[in-house]
Amino acid sequence: MSDERDREEREPGPPLIGAEGGPVAAQTPAARLAAYVRGGGVIVPVITATLAFLLGGLVVLLTGNDPIATYEAIFKGTGLQWLFPWVTGEDRTTAALNLQQTLILTTPLILVGLAVAFAFRAGLFNIGGQGQYIAGTIMAVWVGSSFSGMPGFLHIVLAMVAACLAGAAWAGIAGLLKATVGANEVITTIMLNYIALWIGVYLFSLGGPLQNDRDPNLPVSNDIVETAQLPVWWGDPVLQGLHIGLFIALAAVVVFWLLLNRSTIGYEVRAVGLNPDAARYGGMSVGKNYVLVMAVCGAFAGLAGSLDILGWQFRLATNDIQTSQIGFLGIAVALLGRNTASGTVAAALLFGALVSGTSQRNLDPSIFEPELASNLTLIIQGLVVLVVSADVLVLGFVRRARWLLRGRRRAVKGAAP
Amino acid sequence: MSAEAPALELRGITKRFGPVVANDGIDFDLRPGEVHALLGENGAGKSTLMSILYGLYHPDEGEIRVDDQPVKVDSPSRAIELGIGMVHQHFMLVPVMTVTENIVLGGEPRRRGGLLDVREGARRVRELSERYGLAVDPDAAIEDVTVGAQQRVEILKTLYRDARILVLDEPTAVLTAQEANELFEVLGALKRDGVAIVFITHKLGEVLEIADRITVLRRGKKVDTVPAEGATEQSLARLMVGRDVLLRVEKPERAPGEPVLEVEDLHVRDDRGLEAVRGVSLTVRGGEIVALAGVDGNGQHELVEAIAGLRDAEPGGHIRIAGKEVCGRGVRATTDAGVAHIAEDRQLRGLVLDFTLAENLALREYRSPPLSRHGWLNIGRMNSRARSLLHEYDVRGGSAGTLAGSLSGGNQQKVCIAREIASNPQLLIAHQPTRGLDVGAIEFVHRRLVAERDAGRGILLMSLESEEVRSLADRILVIYEGQIVGEFPPDASEEELGVAMTGGGAGRSVA
């Protein structure tokens, strides 16, 4: 009866997750996540997002604004109404422009989301998406602005590969520290974020080694060579249309899925994430996997950086580096997307739309102060992280309530005769 | 005794988990001063029944009566109030705290100002331990005392809370024979004091030794309650499994071949850096089962890990698999050289519980064709191979896509064994291969091990069950304090082995 007993001891009281009486292995974060994904399906992230938006609406209400009007305005700003066939004429033109912006933001979010999700599948928390993203942008802007005269296609590929390698190396440091001295990757990746940030600021600030050659008063990089810019396939390149980076990000999603579910590397990654002892017993090197996983994560985040640089930024200023939040948004994306390939895409679109919809350009000041609107994004982002982390609890409460209810019914039945 | 009112009575307890009926109208009663054994296969519903008694689950139907009063046990704290104490198989102790601190935890004696009265606590612990012969040092840290002592602490914990009904969940599973005997003496003392004891187990021998009455469960139903007097292992096994069971292993004469494992002067350190294996040399030939017998904690754990490549040995020693040196080369090289290893703990190490059975069955061979090619898994091949192995090893309750964690313990063990044997090893290390299994599953595992021996594989068996060791092994090596202290033939008496395992006497040599 050993395994029945094991279950009961792991979960005294009503089982939190999984079928009642079902196993709840909770040794590693990844194992917990696996149990949790099985328990909640696709419904829970939808509830999570809704809950976050409702709480966000409450915040809007507290600031003395109308939440419904605000959300409506935000939705308009996302351009998603372009998908509705009945939107026509000038509205449609504006919507198209807005949707292009939304998708431009979605592109890197998908990739930084993957960077967090891949680590999570190996039982690691990669909080360093931001630093890895910065490493990628620095490398992309350097390669993209050098080597002028190179054939465009080759130049773009070179810049992207270099950015991937930079991100991979940066994240690999955290993996290596974890594998060799057991340093917690949460701490090291956070610290590496700061190091990347300030290295970037140093490189492009006044007198910095990579500061531009044109204007010594501007803390900004050289522009990337025109032929190294990603082609725009939707909208006007002058008006910042949608570049082909979105397809590269979607291709990365496919790579992520194949790597994780169809390759021996992914098999090892998942085994290490779910049960490191069994992985070691199966002949895998857990430490080597930690380094590899972090490097892959860094490559995803670095690629995100290169797409932003080559796709629409074309240069990097010190205050770009300092204000960027994209890597952190990636954590919320991965959490809401349940660290799955498709979930990450959906969550990235949601956050891309949110950031785009709350941008100052889009929001009518009479409905909500635009200066505050981007803070609303941050609030909703924070709420998502909070609710996602808590929705294991939410699930638990639901089960507990059901269980208590049954108990009461039983008691009533018992008292009746 | 029969005239006495029962201390505890369960009437018609039914518990369903979805479509599964774990307990089906079970009646059970317990008199003061008796040991009532609850016997059943894995998944028969023993633990569910006791979890209901302890307030962890709520019955769908039925009634619990304590001292002839109907009671509602809706939480473990309510159970403790009612004088019910439970000792789980996996102890619930804080390793860094002392014995006394662990015992008083949750019911600490306080001095004025809310400070913990350590001396009063220690005094009561000492008093209780003397009264029932539960020898423990109140001031020792839990992590420094033996498993047997930890169990005594668990029992003291319940007595400290005035338990009159004591539930022991497979208490001997973690104990050596000596420790089990000590436990039985303690239970005798408790009995004389009028404590009523429920003894959950699936070991037939000890049931006959300790129990007054025996209730047998099968598939959630009570089969019968019989007095221990007059019952035999055969009759109980038949009640449990519902058919006649072969308790003894039938095995033909061995025909040992070439050495498949040669260990020479091996020294291995444990997790704390102390030398746990101190100069072991041994040989296992193809076609023989060599058992390593010893009291838990005498270095067998570290020795097995070193041979399996999971733990580094000190320089100077040798481990050769079919003549090939693998010492210090790691798990992969060891596996490639032809070693399979049925791990001691299938849930912690042997399986990834959140992997499917197909994925788990690939754990040894996922890197090579046909399961993968150029780094890409062949999912179809993994599934078809899993299906044939699951069929061959009669794994029930799941298919290739089932998660390993949802199988019962016995079936999980079959999956582990299937995987290890399927890797076609020269040497099969079987570390506690029947731990936690019921008689039916044990029979299967034993037969399979003998079959593999007859197929020419060398088997290194590690078991804490002396019965298992003596019935399976062709040779028995006794390990004591990290050294092989003797070699015995399988017909050696339990006493002979016991003496050697505790460091006394010299081993008998097999011709």
Q: What is the pLDDT of residues B194-251, one digit of tens each?
A: 999 999 887 788 888 889 999 998 888 898 899 988 888 888 888 887 776 666 667 7
Query: Which of B348, B352, B435 has the highest number of chain A CBs within 10 A, making it the mutation to test binding with A?
Result: B352
**Which of A2, A5, A25 is closest, CB to CB, to B405?**
A25
pLDDT at B197: 94
B352 to chain A, closest Cα gap in Å: 6
Pairing mode of beta strands B324-325, B318-321: antiparallel
Residue bearing tokens 């039985």: B184
Closest of B400, B215, B92, B134 to residue A12, by C-alpha:
B92
B138 cis-preceded (ω within 30 degrees of 0): no
Give CA–CA dist B327/B345, Å, rounded. Answer: 23
Give the Cα separation of B155 and B146 in Å (integer).
14
Out of B22, B308, B354, name the one closest to residue A25 (CB).
B354
Spatial contact of B277 and B302, defined as CB atoms under 8 Å apart: yes
Token output for A412: 């009533």
Distances (CA, A) of B145 to A85, A145, B93, B105, B153: 74, 67, 12, 18, 10
pLDDT, tens digit, 9 for 90 and up, residues B37-83: 998 876 678 888 888 998 888 899 999 999 888 998 888 888 888 99
DSSP classification of residue B67 = T
Nearest CA in chain A to B342: A281
Structure tokens at B277: 């294996």
Residues B200 and B207: their CA atoms lie apart, in Å, by 9
Tens of pLDDT, residue by residue over A307-352, are 999 999 999 999 999 988 899 889 989 988 888 899 999 999 999 9
Question: A–B: how many Cβ contacts below 8 A?
Answer: 141
Give the A window 262-281 contacts with B, CB below 8 Å: 262-265, 267, 270-271, 274-275, 277-281
- Compute CA distances A395 → A36, A167, A398, whole Å: 9, 36, 5
Q: Which helix (H) or strand (E) holds B499?
A: helix B494-501
Please name the residue of chain A whose CA is at the shortest distance from the CA of residue B40: A1
Interface test with A, best of B51, B351, B354, B356 (most A CBs within 10 A): B354
What residues are paired with B459 via a beta bridge? B289, B428
What residues in A contact B169, CB-CB < 8 Å? Answer: 5
Q: For A209-263, how does the pLDDT look when each residue is reduced to its tens digit (9 = 90+)?
A: 999 988 888 999 999 999 999 999 998 888 888 999 999 999 999 999 999 999 9
B17: chain A residues, CB-CB within 8 Å = 19-21
CA distance B279 to B313: 11
**Which residue is associated with the tokens 């909770």?**
A26
Model pLDDT, residue B167: 93
Phi and psi angles of residue A99, each rounded to the nearest 5 degrees, phi first: -65, -35
- Among the partner residues B347, B372, B403, nearest to A264 by beta-carbon distance: B372
Give the CA dihedral B354, B355, B356, B357, nearest 10 degrees: -110
B241 CA to chain A: closest CA distance, Å?
Answer: 13
Task: Give residues with Cβ within 8 angstroms of B325, minimum separation 6.
Answer: B318, B319
Identical fold, B8-241 and B259-501: yes
Q: For each of the domains in chain A, give its residue range(s) and CATH number, in order of start.
A: 41-406 (1.10.3470)
Q: What is the pLDDT of residue B171?
A: 86
| Cβ-nearest to B56 among A12, A20, A280 | A12
CA atoms within 13 A on the CB side of A77: 27
Residue with tokens 């449609």: A92
In this structure, of A124-133, B262-271, B407-416, the range with the lowest mean pLDDT score is: B407-416
CATH of domain B259-501: 3.40.50.300
As a whole number of angstroms, the distance between CA A226 and CA A245 comes to 16
Question: Tokens 């913990």 correspond to what residue?
Answer: B116
Is B30 within 8 Å of B11 (Cβ atoms)?
A: no
Neighbours of B150 (CB within 10 A): 18
Helix (H) or strand (E) holding B453: helix B439-454
Where in chain B are the domains?
8-241, 259-501
Q: Which of B336, B272, B349 is nearest to B304 (CA)?
A: B349
CA B422/CA B419 separation, integer angstroms: 5
Please state, as a whole number, how many other Cβ atoms lie within 10 Å of the Cβ of residue B247. Answer: 16
Measure the CA–CA gap between A15 and B172, rounded to whole angstroms.
28
Answer whether A254 touches B (CB < 8 Å). Answer: no
Give A277→chain B minimum CA distance, Å: 5
Most B CBs within 10 A among A28, A270, A281, hence the mutation to make, goes to A281
- Determine the distance in angstroms separating the CA of A139 from the nearest CA of chain B, rounded to an integer: 30
- Tell me what pLDDT residue A4 has: 37
In terms of average pLDDT, the best of A53-57, A391-395, B172-176, B278-282 is B278-282
CA A124 to chain centre: 15
| Per-residue model confidence (pLDDT) at position A379 | 81
Strand-pair partners of A16:
none
Other beta carbons within 10 angstroms of residue B283's beta carbon come to 17
pLDDT tens-place string over residues B342-395: 998 888 889 998 899 999 999 999 998 889 999 999 999 999 999 999 999 888
Q: For B351, name the nearest residue in chain A, comparing CA atoms only.
A: A278
Question: Coil, helix or strand for B490?
Answer: coil
pLDDT of residue A389: 63
User: Cis bond leading into B425, ω under 30°?
Assistant: no
Which residues from chain B sit within 8 angstroms of residue A8, using beta carbons? 47-48, 51, 56-57
CA B15 to mean position of chain CA atoms: 26
According to DSSP, the residues that pair with B484 across neighbouring strands are B479
Q: Predicted ipTM? A: 0.79
On whether the CB atoms of residues B448 and B395 are closer than 8 A, the answer is no
Exposed / middle / buried, residue A85 (Cβ in 10 Å: 0-12, 13-18, 19+): exposed
Task: Please name the residues in contact with A283: beta carbons below 8 A apart, sequence gap of 6 or more.
Answer: B309, B330, B331, B332, B335, B364
Q: Is B420 left (phi over 0), alpha (psi -120 to 50) or beta?
A: alpha
Q: With pLDDT > 90 as the criterion, what percentage of chain B qualifies?
A: 35
Which of chain A's residues have a Cβ under 8 Å away from the Cβ of B80?
A: none
pLDDT digits (tens, 9 = 90+) for A143-164: 999 998 889 899 999 999 999 9
In Å, the largest CA–CA distance within chain B is: 75
- Cβ distance A44 to A51 under 8 Å? no
Query: Which neighbouring-strand residues pair with A19?
Result: none
Torsion on CA atoms B243, B247, B250, B254, rounded to nearest 10: 150
Output B469 or B178, whichever has higher pLDDT.
B469
CA distance A168 to A171: 5
Residues in chain B with CB shorter than 8 Å from the CB of A270 are 352, 355
- Asked if B234 contacts B290 with a C-beta cutoff of 8 angstroms, the reply is no
Contact check, Cβ <8 Å, A262/B379: yes
Tokens 């050098």 sit on residue: A146
pLDDT at A386: 80
Interchain pair B352, A274: CB under 8 A: yes
Q: Which residue has the tokens 């017993």?
A: A281
Grouping H, G, I as helix, E, B as strand and the rest as coil, residue B460 is strand
Architecture of the domain made up of B8-241: 3-Layer(aba) Sandwich (3.40)
* Residue pair B327/B268 in contact by the 8 Å Cβ criterion: no
Predicted confidence at residue B308, as pLDDT, reads 93
Which of chain A's residues have a Cβ under 8 Å away from the Cβ of B405?
22-23, 25
C-alpha B394 chain-centroid distance = 22
